[in-house]
Amino acid sequence: MCGINGIFNYSQVGIGDEKSLIDLMNNSIRHRGPDDSGISSVEGGKIFFGHRRLSIIDLSSAGHQPMKNDAGYEIVFNGEIYNFNELKKLVEGYPFKSDSDTEVIIALYEKYGERCLQYLNGMFAFAIWDPKKEVLFLARDRVGKKPLYYSFQNGVFAFSSEIKALLKLPFIKNKLDEEAFYHFLTFNVLSPPATMFRGINKFHPGYCMTINKNGEHTYSQYWQIEYKDLRAKSEDELRIQTLELLKKSVQYRMVSNVPVGAFLSGGVDSSALVALMSKMTDQPVKTYSIGFEDQPDFDELEHARKVSQLFGTQHFEKTVNPDEFKNFLPHVVDIFDEPLADPTCVPIYFISQKARQEGTIVVLTGDGSDEIFAGYRNHLRYIHNYDKFNNLKRLPSPVKKIISATYSLYDSNSPLSEMLNRAALNQEFFWGSARSFKESVKNNFLTDDFRNKHSELNSYSVVESFKHEYDKIRKPYHQPIDWMCFMGFKLTDPNWYLYRADRLGMAHSIELRSPFLDYELVNFALSVPGEMKVKGNEPKYILKKSLESILPNEVLYRKKMGFCLPLKKWGSEIMVDYVESNYIEFCSNFPFLKTQGIKYILNEVKSGSEKAVNDLWTAYFLISWFKKWMHA
C-alpha cells in the first residue's frame, strides 16, 4: 500500500519545476507511505514519477520506488500482488534484485506488455514507462480497490492516488463539475470517470491507459465479469466451491512481511475471515472491534468477544466516547477529497486508528460479501416486488403516469411512490446505492437557476450506463437478483466501500484487504443462481451454508447489524449548529441549493424525524466539503 504521483509533460510546456511539483504531491499524500519517499525523472525530464511507500513486502531498500530495471522500464506502483511468487515462474531467468512484488510487475510487463494484467491477482494502481514503445502505461485493478485519478490539461498529463495531490499542481483548478454534483445528491458517491472536480477523472476498475510521446492515448477495459452457468451444480457442490475459493483468497491475503489482523464485528463475514485466518497461522490473530460509550444498541462488542474466544484471537476493542466523536466530525472532509457522505466512516476511522496503535499494518475486512452474495434484507423487498413492478411497466403509458402522479400527491417520498414513478418512466426498479435524495425530492432542493441550466439531467442516466454494461454480459436465465448483485459490485463496492476503506485505512497508514473481492471468487459468486443466493428469505444463503462447517449457527443466522453509530444522539446538535451557522453563506457562494430546502431539513430534525438526520448529515458533509475543497 503506497501512494503514486506522476507528471507527463508531453508538449514540454512551461509548468514550473516538475521535480518540485512532484515533491509537493508526494508530501500531500505522506500518510499513504510514511516509510520511504522517491522521485525520478524519465525520458529526458518529460516524465516525473513520485512515490510514497508503506513497506509490506520486502521491507529492504531494494523495494524502493520509483523502480527501474536494466532495460529501462520504470514503475510506480500502489497495492499488493498476492500471487507474485507464483508469477516469477513466467519470467524464469529474469535478474531479480529484490523480493518485492513491484519488480515482478516490471518483469511481466517487459515480457508480455499489456497482457501482464491477466496474470495479476491483487489490488493495484500503477504506471510504467515503456522505453521501447515510448509510451506511458497505467492500469487499475479489476475491482477498484486501489484509487487512481488523472487529468489532461493543455499538453500535460498528471496522475495520482488522491485528488489532493493533483490540486497541488498550478495548472489544475478546483472547479466544480455540476453534473457530478447533481448525481452525488442521489447516490452520495460518484462513479467513474466523474469526480466532483471538472477536469479530474477517476479510472474505472479493470481499465488501462496508454499514452504515447505525443500525448495521444487509448483507454480500454481489460477485464469484465465472467458469468458461468452453474445451474446444473448441486447445493453441496456450490457450498464446497464457495468455501474453497474463500480459503484460497484469505490465504493470498495473508501474504505479508508485517503483522496481519482483522476487523471483527461478530457477524458472518468478519467471523468467517477470522475462522479461516486462525487456521493459517501459528500465532493468535489480532482482531479489532468498535463500540460506543453507553450505547449498547450501536455496537457488537459482545458478539465479537464470543467469536474472539472461539478462535483464540488477541482481541482489541475501541470504545468511542461522545467527545472523540464530536472532535473528529469536522475532520471527515480532510480525508475525503472525493466526497463520500457516509457516517459509518466514523467507526471505521477509530478502529483503523486502534489497529495502527497496536502495530497491525495489514487488516482483513468483510467488504464486498453482501454485494456479490446478496446479503441485504433490502434485497428481499425488491425480489418480492419485481413482478408487480414489471406488471406496472406493461400498462399503457398514460395510465402509468396518472397512477404515479395521483399517488405522489398523497405520498411522494415512500418506496411505493418510488416504484410507481420508475414504472411510469420505464426505468429500472433497482438503482443500487441511490440512498440519498430521490429525483422528485432532489428538485425541491435545487435552485431554479441550476435546474434550468441542467434541465436535461436525470440521475437515472447513471443507472442506465450500468444497465447497458450489464445487458452486454447478462445471461438469458438471469433473475432480478443478478442485476442487483451486479450493481452492488460495480457501483457500490468500488465507489463506496473500497474507497472508504482505502482512505480511512491510509489516514492511519494501514492497508485494508478484502478477501471477498478476489476476482475469482467474484466471478463465481455472481454466477451462483439466484435461488441459491436467497433461499427461504435467507440472504447470502449459499455463503452461510458453506460456512456451517467453521462457524456456529448463532453467528451465521443472527440478525445483521453492520457498522452503525449513534448519529442522532451524538451528532444532531453539532450538525444542526454547524449547518445553521453556515448554510446561508454556502447557498450564496454556491447557488445550487435553496436555503428553504436546507431549512426544511433542519426543522425536520428538530421535530424528531429519524430520516431527516441522514439528510442533515448529507447537508453537513457537503457544506464542510465545499468549504475545504472548492473555491466559490
CA angle (412 as vertex; 406, 413 as ends), nearest 5: 155
Write 609-616 long-range contacts (CB < 8 A, 24+): 610/568, 613/567, 613/568, 613/571, 613/572, 614/343, 614/436, 614/567, 615/436, 615/437, 616/572, 616/575, 616/576, 616/579
Q: What number is the average pLDDT over the span 205-222?
A: 97
Q: Are 190 and 200 in contact (CB under 8 A)?
A: no
Q: Are 288 and 316 in contact (CB under 8 A)?
A: yes
Helix (H), strand (E), coil (C) string for 369-407: HHHHHCCCHHHHHHHHHHHHHHHHHCCCHHHHHHHHHHH
Q: Are 143 and 493 in contact (CB under 8 A)?
A: yes
CA 118 and chain centroid, separation: 22
Q: Report the alpha-carbon distance of residue 250 to residue 132 in Å, rounded.
A: 38
* Tens digits of residue pLDDT in 366-418: 999 999 999 998 899 999 999 999 999 999 999 999 999 999 888 877 888 88
Tell me, what's the pLDDT at 89? 96
* Tens digits of residue pLDDT in 100-141: 999 999 999 999 999 999 999 999 999 999 999 999 999 999
Residue type, 473: I
Tell me, what's the pLDDT at 563? 63
Residue type, 439: E
Tell me, what's the pLDDT at 78? 96
Question: What is the sign, positive or negative, of the torsion defined by CA atoms of 582, 583, 584, 588?
Answer: positive
Lowest mean pLDDT segment, chosen from 91-95, 179-183, 298-302, 535-539: 298-302
Residue among 2, 116, 345, 587 flagged as catalytic: 2
Which domains does the chain possess? 2-221 (3.60.20.10), 235-319+338-374+485-556 (3.40.50.620), 377-440+458-483 (no CATH), 567-629 (no CATH)
Peptide bond into 193 cis (omega under 30): yes
Q: H helices within 279-368, ranges in order?
A: 301-311, 322-328, 332-335, 345-357
Phi first, then psi: give them for residue 375, nearest 5 degrees. -100, 0
* Tens digits of residue pLDDT in 10-29: 998 889 899 999 999 999 99
Beta strand 74-81 pairing with 122-130:
antiparallel
Band (pLDDT 50/70/90 cuts) for residue 55 is low
Question: What is the sign, positive or negative, of the torsion defined by CA atoms of 353, 357, 361, 362?
Answer: negative
Q: Residues with Cβ < 8 Å from 417, sequence gap 6 or more?
A: 404, 407, 408, 411
Tell whether the model's pLDDT for residue 568 goes beyond 60.
yes
CA angle (393 as vertex; 387, 397 as ends), nearest 5: 160
Q: Are 491 and 433 in contact (CB under 8 A)?
A: yes
Q: What strand order describes the sheet that includes 74-81? A: 67-68, 74-81, 122-130, 135-140, 207-212, 217-221
Q: What is the mean pLDDT of the chain?
A: 93
Tell whether the model's pLDDT for residue 549 goes beyond 90.
yes
Q: Are 459 and 186 in contact (CB under 8 A)?
A: yes
* Tens digits of residue pLDDT in 468-522: 999 999 999 999 999 999 999 999 999 999 999 999 999 999 999 999 999 999 9
Q: Report the alpha-carbon distance of residue 488 to residue 624 in Å, rounded.
A: 28
pTM: 0.95
Q: Is 2 a catalytic residue?
A: yes
Tell whether the model's pLDDT for residue 145 goes beyond 70.
yes
Tell me, what's the pLDDT at 1? 60
Q: Report the alpha-carbon distance of residue 114 to residue 310 in Å, rounded.
A: 46
